[in-house]
Chains A and B, each alone.
Chain A
Amino acid sequence: MQTIIFRAAIPLITTLMMIFSVFILLRGHNAPGGGFIGGIIAASAFAVYGIAQSEAAIRKALYFKPLTISAFGLLLSVLSGLFSILYDKPFLTGLWHKVDIFHTVVFYISTPLFFDIGVYLVVVGGLSAIILVLEEEE
């Protein structure tokens, strides 16, 4: 796995995969994609990066400990579900807010989106934790 071409190409590929994973995550609600699949793509990006570089490189790229990321994702999902309780609605009820900037940029911000981001983070963190421990040198 230590060919020059592979090593040179990998940072580029990883970057593309990361951007793609976020893209997949965000478009998920209306087109194929979502947090789970986005998370898998991101985790594969880290895995491939690790094969080319080293385990330490992934850790540096992740910045946070993988399980911390995972736990934060779970927390985010739970909190996004709990948010509806403030509006006296049952746990996990989806709430939507329209963001309208001068009628030019119009999009919705919603609790399911944060829920999906939570799923994404859990998957990224969990899978990279496993990958890291496997790539670790003896």
Chain B
Amino acid sequence: MVWIILSGFFVAFASPFCVRILGQIGAYLLSIVAFGICYYFISFTAEVSSGSVLYYSYEWFPNMSVRFAFFLDPLSLIFAILISGIGGFIILYAASYLKNHPHLGRFLGFILAFMASMLGLVLANDIITLFVFWEATSITSFLLIGFDSHRAEARRAAIQALVVTGGGGLALLAGLILLSLSTGSLLLSDMLFFNGRSLDNDLYVLILLLILGGAFTKSAQIPFHFWLPNAMEAPTPVSAYLHSATMVKAGVYLLMRLNPVLGQQPLWTEILSIVGALTLVVGSILAMASRDLKRMLAYTTMASLGLLVLLIGMGSQEALLAAMVYLVAHSFFKGAFFMLAGGVDHSTGTRDIYAVSGLYRVMPLTAVTAALAALSMCGLPPFLGFVAKETMYSIFGSASLGGFHIFIMLMLVIGNALMLVIAASIAIMPFYGRSYKTPKIPHESDFFMLCGPVILALLGIVSVGYLHNFDTYFIVPALQVIAPFTISKNLHLWGGFNLALLLSIVTILFGVFIYLYKDNLHRFLVSLFKFLRWGPDKGFDQFVNAITRLSFIWRKYMQSGHHSHYLMLTFVFFAFALWAPIYDDAYDVFKEMLAVKAEITLQNLLFIAIIVISVLSVIIVLMAKTRLFAIVSLGIQGFSVAVIFMIAGAPDLSFTQFMVDTLAIVVLTLVMTRLAMQMVDYRSMQERLLGIIVSLFCGVGIMVHLNQILSKPFNAYISDYFNAYSFIEAHGRNIVNVIIVDFRAIDTLGEISVVMGAAIACLALVKMRNKKTKLASHTS
């Protein structure tokens, strides 16, 4: 199973070579992989629909109990079949659509990689596995949207989609981790038995919001919808595959999957149904305002996703049933529609719905297929779309109608009517009427471009013929997984005269009415949006600009380019780090320190004398007239510290301190002569004062910390160990050296690597400066 899921990735690497060697045939052959996967999943139907769930699991990070785990249940099965089946048709379609494109192989590779990520997403059992595949779909979608990377719009759309869906993915990760912490398992299959009602309320709200952040961005819900229409910059096969049939459904899948855990709660119902209803209506209105075929389809996709979210939010048996059927129906008709729209674009050179007309004469098959898809999308009998719509309207049959239900009903009717208008427009306007002159001479699409849409459109009606089988093998078992109650309802084409049928008729009549005035409505909406000007798409740009500006400001204060400024910042943060943990009991610490009384002995006197020398040398540093003088005085201070080490019995430390100080003075002197620094300190009084304050904070902070450490009893365990074993185990009497080259040799290895890295960096910096000055002297 895992190999089947991952096979898409492997074939993706091979696909550029496959296409280069075998040419066009190689491209068509790649679809076999997808169809093979589809066949593989279909073969599980009988087993899975009878209620058994197949588990596949491998160790991944055993010490964090993360597993590479998958499971196949009826819900995953529906998605897996849709993804791989439509994927196969898309590959055939893309091979023709991008015929003779130099990067066809690469493109198909991306498609296959996407297919594999999507399969992994819907089959994942472990939440980390789920997240990895979730992000993999974002990344592959980024590659696919930006496939025409030479166009700025495509690049922008790709980045936008990545930022929005990737950001949502991070929210999702946080949500899933919180969920797994509160349910006690990383496996979705365990969580399904966990009811949200037993979650702590505050945590429930947080988890819900985070997970919805992931699902809503992926499924283009308001206000995160703007990336979806922009993603239409991608070649049409991508739009047909990712942005109608599969990727955007990932959010819907997640909501369905987590319905038993998080669903059936007031907050869930409110958020999902209101956001879904708004997305439905706004999406269909935006579709009315567009004239680009693909954008229109994109907005109706957004509307359909809103519809699905709304239905999941309602959560009743009819609603979930409707969601499941609509999901499948939508994949059929929208996938077909997108491929047909791409065919029109490919054949005429334009996607403007007002610029093409009368294509029936040259593209008869396309026109008929579009009509089939449109009838399903309109929800007319006897298509699957009609079944879905009947079912969704039957929500209102049983419930008593409150204000909330009336609102939802209104939204559903408006949304469905507008979608009907769009479907009718796309199926009628380009194909009938007078022929216009188009940029290219139109021709019928070839076999491979048509087989996908024809079969998908036909499935929209064939599935109704086998409605009972469709119901028992796919829909009801899947529903049983996501619904926390037993399913008693069935799908039916004819439900008798009831409220649902009435609502259907009202929708159709309303739709026909709007269709007659659609041009006026379109013009009105275009001028309205022109008047409004601002939209979330623009908001995204403003957001990105704001972040850029913020980082400019940050850079201005943090990366000024002045060495003294950097030092100041470093020490300010250092002082902060020193004082933050002790600021509230600093007073007690001071009192404690002042209470310490030292006896004056000969050894103490020696210490005091050295400290006096050290302090004097520091004062000289501050008073020094020239820098050279200051540097040498600083050296005296370093030497006196070395002497203290020596007296305290640390010859190695003292030795090193002496040498380091010597070398530091030599290097500082060299730097002085080399960088032609001013001999005198140029800083103003205020700057000096600030420096004094900061350094006092640092110094006193270190003193306080040292005092606190020394006041604790000394744990001699490690030093005793080294004392005891340094000669026995490492043949050395100098413990310091034994630690460096033996006991802690790996640390030393790291340190000497750093020494070398620092030398390289230092060299590069100085050399770079040389080049610049040389260049400057050349130009002047």
Q: What residues of chain A lie closer than 8 Å to B741, measured between beta carbons?
A: 28-29, 34-35, 94, 112-113, 115-116, 119
Enumerate chain B residues within 8 angstroms of A92, measured Cβ to Cβ: 742, 745-746, 749
Chain A binder among B123-131, B488-496, B655-663? B655-663
B752 touches A123 (CB 8 A): yes
Q: How far is the CA of A42 from the CA of B736 in the complex (A)?
A: 20
Given contacts A74-B753, A77-B752, contact A127 B742 (CB under 8 A): no
Shortest Cβ distance from residue B390 to the other chain A in the assembled complex, whole angstroms: 71
Interface string of B116-151 (1 = CB under 8 A from A): 000000000000000000000000000000000000
Identity of the chain B residue whose Cβ is nearest the Cβ of A116 in the assembled complex: B741
Please report the C-alpha to C-alpha distance between residue A138 and residue B732 in the assembled complex, in whole angstroms.
47
Q: Which of A66, A67, A81, A130 contacts B745 (CB 8 A)?
A: A81
Would you call B755 and A40 a contact (CB within 8 A)? no
Contact mask for chain A residues 23-35; partner B; CB cutoff 8 A; 1 contact, 0 none? 0000011111111
Is A78 in contact with chain B by the CB < 8 A criterion? yes
Q: Are A47 and B667 in contact (CB under 8 A)?
A: yes
Residues 722-739 of chain B: 1 if any A CB is under 8 Å from the residue's CB, otherwise 0?
000000011111101110
Q: How large is the interface on B (under 10, 10 to 19, 20 to 34, 35 or more residues)?
A: 35 or more
- Scan B307-322; emit 1 where CB is below 8 A from any A CB, else 0: 0000000000000000
> A74 to B656, Cβ gap below 8 A?
no
Contact A47-B666, Cβ < 8 Å, known A28-B737, A30-B733, A67-B759: yes
A125 touches B759 (CB 8 A): yes
Asked if B345 is at the interface of the complex by the 8 Å CB criterion, the answer is: no
- Complex A-B: 5 CB contacts under 8 Å: A35-B740, A37-B652, A122-B752, A123-B755, A134-B671
Contacts of A18 in B (CB 8 A): none
Chain A residues positioned under 8 Å from B732 (CB to CB) = 29-30, 112
Closest to B736 in A: A34
Give chain B residues whose Cβ lies under 8 Å from the Cβ of A70.
755-756, 759
Residues in B neighbouring A116, C-beta threshold 8 A: 737, 740-741
Min Cβ gap A75→B in Å is 10
State whether A74 touches B731 (Cβ < 8 A): no
A31, B726: Cα distance in complex, Å: 13
Q: Are B745 and A112 in contact (CB under 8 A)?
A: yes
- Check if B762 is an interface residue, CB within 8 A of chain A: yes
Please, how many angstroms separate the alpha-carbon atoms of A33 and B734 in the complex? 8
- List, in ascending order, chain B residues with CB within 8 A of A67's CB: 756, 759-760, 763
Question: Quick check: B655 and A130 within 8 Å, CB to CB?
Answer: no
Whether A138 touches B773, Cβ cut-off 8 Å, given contacts A40-B659, A43-B663, is yes
Q: Which of A99-138 contact B (CB under 8 A)?
A: 108, 110, 112-113, 115-116, 118-119, 122-123, 125-127, 129-131, 133-136, 138
CB distance from A70 to the nearest CB of B (A): 5
CB A31 to nearest CB in B, in angstroms, measures 6
**Closest chain B residue, CB of each to CB of A98:** B731
Q: Digitize A70-105: 1 where CB-to-B-CB distance is under 8 Å, 0 elsewhere.
A: 110110011001000000000110101000000000
Q: Is the beta-carbon distance between A34 and B734 smaller than 8 angstroms?
A: yes
Contacts of A96 in B (CB 8 A): 731
Across the interface, B752 reaches (CB within 8 A) one of A32, A40, A119, A136, namely: A119
Closest to B760 in A: A67
Neighbouring B residues of A112 by C-beta, 8 Å: 730, 732, 738, 741-742, 745
Report the minimal beta-carbon distance from B211 to chain A, rounded to whole angstroms.
44
B580 within 8 A of A: no
14 further contact pairs, Cβ within 8 A, besides A28-B741, A115-B745: A30-B732, A41-B659, A43-B663, A66-B759, A67-B760, A78-B749, A81-B746, A113-B741, A116-B741, A130-B667, A130-B759, A130-B762, A134-B667, A134-B674
Once the chains bind, are A133 and B734 in contact (CB under 8 Å)? no
In the complex, the answer to whether A74 meets B666 with C-beta atoms within 8 Å is no
Most buried by A among B651, B730, B734, B758: B734
Q: What is the interface residue range for chain A against chain B?
A: 35 or more
A130 to B376, CA, bound (A): 76
Chain A residues within an 8 Å CB radius of B666: 44, 47-48, 51, 131
> Nearest-CB distance from B700 to chain A (Å)?
31
Contacts of A118 in B (CB 8 A): 752
CA distance A45 to B431 in the complex (A): 90
Taking the complex as formed, is B520 at the interface, i.e. its CB lies under 8 A from any CB of chain A? no
Does chain A have a CB within 8 A of B748? yes
* A133 partner residues in chain B, CB cutoff 8 A: 762-763, 766-767
Interface residues of B in 688-740 (CB under 8 A from A): 729-734, 736-738, 740
A64 to B617 alpha-carbon distance, docked (Å): 40
B670 sits at the interface (CB 8 A): yes
User: Lowest 7 A-B CB distances belong to which pairs?
Assistant: A126-B759, A29-B732, A32-B651, A112-B741, A40-B659, A134-B670, A122-B752
Q: Is A131 a contact of B759 with CB atoms below 8 Å?
A: no
Cα A136 to Cα B674 in complex, Å, equals 8
User: Which residues on the A side are within 8 Å of B745 (C-beta)?
Assistant: 81, 92, 94, 112, 115
Closest CB-CB distance, A41 to chain B, in whole Å?
6
Q: CA–CA, A127 to B762, complex, Å? A: 10
Q: Are B651 and A29 in contact (CB under 8 A)?
A: no
A119's contact among B742, B748, B762, by CB below 8 Å, is which? B748
| Contact residues, B88-124 vs A (CB, 8 A) | none
- B746 and A29: CB pair below 8 A? no
List the B side residues contacting A28 at CB < 8 Å. 734, 737, 741
Q: Is A77's CB under 8 angstroms from B674's CB?
A: no
Bound: A66/B733 CA distance, A: 32
B643-680 vs A, Cβ < 8 Å mask (1 yes, 0 no): 00000000110011001101100110011001000000
Q: Which one of A29, A48, A138 lies within 8 Å of B731 (CB-CB)?
A: A29
Asked if residues A126 and B674 are in contact (CB atoms below 8 Å), the reply is no
In the complex where A44-B663, A48-B666, A78-B749 touch, is A29 in contact with B737 (Cβ < 8 A)?
yes
* CA–CA, A41 and B655, complex, Å: 10
Is A129's CB under 8 angstroms from B763's CB? Answer: yes
Q: Which residues of A contact B738 (CB under 8 A)?
A: 29, 112
Cα–Cα distance between A131 and B766 once the two chains are bound (Å)? 11
**Which residues from B are CB-within-8-Å of A110?**
731
Q: Which residues of B contact A33 (CB under 8 A)?
A: 652, 655, 734, 737
| Contacts A94-B730, A96-B731, A131-B666; A81 near B759 (Cβ below 8 A) | no
Shortest beta-carbon distance from B627 to chain A in Å: 15
Chain B stretch 459-511: residues in CB contact (< 8 A) with chain A? none
CB contacts (< 8 Å) of A43 on chain B: these are 663
The answer to whether A32 touches B652 (Cβ under 8 A) is yes
Whether the pair A31, B667 counts as a contact (CB closer than 8 A) is no
A10 to chain B, nearest CB (A): 13
* Bound Cα distance from A110 to B667, whole angstroms: 34
B652 touches A108 (CB 8 A): no
Task: Name the residue of chain B whose CB is nearest to the CB of A135.
Answer: B670
Chain A nearest CB, measured from B473 CB (Å): 58
Specify which chain A residues have a CB less than 8 angstroms from the CB of B756 in the assembled complex: 67, 70-71, 73-74, 122, 125-126
Residue in B734, B755, B762 whose CB lies within 8 Å of A31:
B734
Residue of B nearest to A34 (CB): B737
In the assembly, what is the distance between CA of A51 and CA of B667, in Å? 11
Assembly CA distance A48 to B327 (angstroms): 80
Instruction: Select one of A77, A108, A131 contacting B749, CB under 8 A.
Output: A77
CB distance from A71 to the nearest CB of B (A): 7
A47 contacts across to B, CB distance below 8 A: 663, 666-667, 670
For B655, list chain A residues within 8 Å (CB). 32-33, 37
Nearest CB of chain A from residue B634's CB, rounded to whole Å: 17
A135 to B738 Cα, complex, angstroms:
35
Best-buried of B741, B742, B759, B763 by chain A (most CB within 10 Å): B741
Contact A29 B733 (CB under 8 A): yes
Residues of A within 8 Å of B763, CB to CB, are 67, 129-130, 133
Chain B minimum-CB-distance residue to A29: B732
A28 to B740: give the CA distance in the assembly, Å: 10
The verdict on A31 contacting B759 (CB below 8 Å), with A92-B746, A119-B752 known, is no
The residue in A41, A48, A73, A130 that gathers the most chain B C-beta atoms within 10 A of its C-beta is: A130
Q: Judging by beta carbons under 8 Å apart, are A36 and B734 in contact?
A: no
In the complex, are the beta carbons of B652 and A129 less than 8 A apart?
A: no
Q: Write the chain A residue with the least CB distance to B774.
A: A138
